[in-house]
Amino acid sequence: MSGFYKEMIAQNCIIEIEALHTRFGQLVVHRDINLCVHYHEVLTLVGGSGSGKTTLLRQMLGLERPSKGNIRVFGASRCDCDFDLLRNIRNRSGVLFQQGALFSALSVFDNVALPLRELRTLDERMIRDLVMFKLDMVAIGSQHANKMPANLSGGMVKRVALARALALDPELLFLDEPTAGLDPELSEGFVKLILALRAEMNLTIVMVTHDLETLSALSNRIAVLADQQIVAIGNLQDIRHHQHPFINSFFKTV
């Protein structure tokens, strides 16, 4: 075991990123990224447009591969191609994509039931109970279960998408711009819901956001992506005094 991994285990990392490089043709997006996401923290990725936040999130999720370097989730390498191992990582992770990304042809109920049905181990009665329980957790009443996504408000789409992300009781939750498109009141309510569920389910959260209110309310630590690297990492107090042009402009209203 390399010194790096010993250090990661000692630091209690749920996700460990080592010497990660990403390039798309001539475009270098990440250069030597090293990062540890601690168990039970909320780590937020911030950075300018095109700085590689979503790409890094997708790499942690296993949806994209870095050009070089390694990502370990729950101690297992993303680069291992063992199907059972990758499925295990997937079942222990939930993701809330930007815009909610509900399947438009499926009802609220069927959207939340999807990850449960994919397990192929639960009968429909059990699935029904679990779906109604998850909808209740995100304050969606049973009268909405048969509605189609097109008939929901923006705030409801986010909550149903969150119920789906939490369907398998994940330990790790990824949030991509969770409050984008919500007005300030709905956004505040959604942040409170995430905080409550995080405490209830003992979640570790990795989030991408441009929204300062969301960032301040939820983050334990913030990692700033700029110049293809993580130029600063720490809590809000640590970060806001860091001297970097992106950080100065991003936090100037705090």
CA distances in angstroms from 236 to 38, 57, 214, listed in the order given? 16, 20, 12
> In terms of CB distance, is 4 or 24 closer to ligand ATP?
24
Residue 39, CB-side half-sphere exposure with 13 Å CA sphere: 11
The Cα 79–Cα 254 span in angstroms is: 39
Q: Is 243 in the site for ligand ATP (CB under 6 A)?
A: no
What is the smallest separation between the CB atom of 99 and ligand ATP, expressed in angstroms?
12
> In terms of CB distance, is 29 or 182 closer to ligand ATP?
29
CA distances in angstroms from 140 to 153, 170, 209, listed in the order given? 12, 20, 24
Report how many residues bind ligand ATP under the rule CB under 6 A.
11
The Cα 16–Cα 205 span in angstroms is: 14
Q: Is 53 in the site for ligand ATP (CB under 6 A)?
A: yes
Q: Is 47 in the site for ligand ATP (CB under 6 A)?
A: yes
Q: Is 51 in the site for ligand ATP (CB under 6 A)?
A: yes
Q: Is 29 in the site for ligand ATP (CB under 6 A)?
A: yes
Q: Which stretch binds ligand ATP (CB under 6 A): 43-51, 66-74, 135-143, 158-166?
A: 43-51
What is the smallest separation between the CB atom of 226 and ligand ATP, expressed in angstroms?
10
Query: From the list 7, 12, 24, 65, which residue makes contact with ligand ATP (rule: CB under 6 A)?
Result: 24
Q: What is the pattern of x (binds ligand ATP, CB under 6 A) and - over residues 130-169? A: ----------------------------------------
The Cα 251–Cα 13 span in angstroms is: 27
The Cα 116–Cα 164 span in angstroms is: 9
Q: Is 52 in the site for ligand ATP (CB under 6 A)?
A: yes
Compute, in degrees rounded to 10, the torsion defined by CA atoms 180, 185, 191, 193: -120
Q: In sequence order, which ranges of 62-201 are alpha helices (DSSP H)?
A: 83-91, 108-118, 124-137, 154-165, 184-201
3-state secondary structure of 10: helix
What is the smallest separation between the CB atom of 66 and ligand ATP, expressed in angstroms?
12
Which residues of the chain form contacts with ligand ATP (CB under 6 A)? 24, 27, 29, 47, 49-55
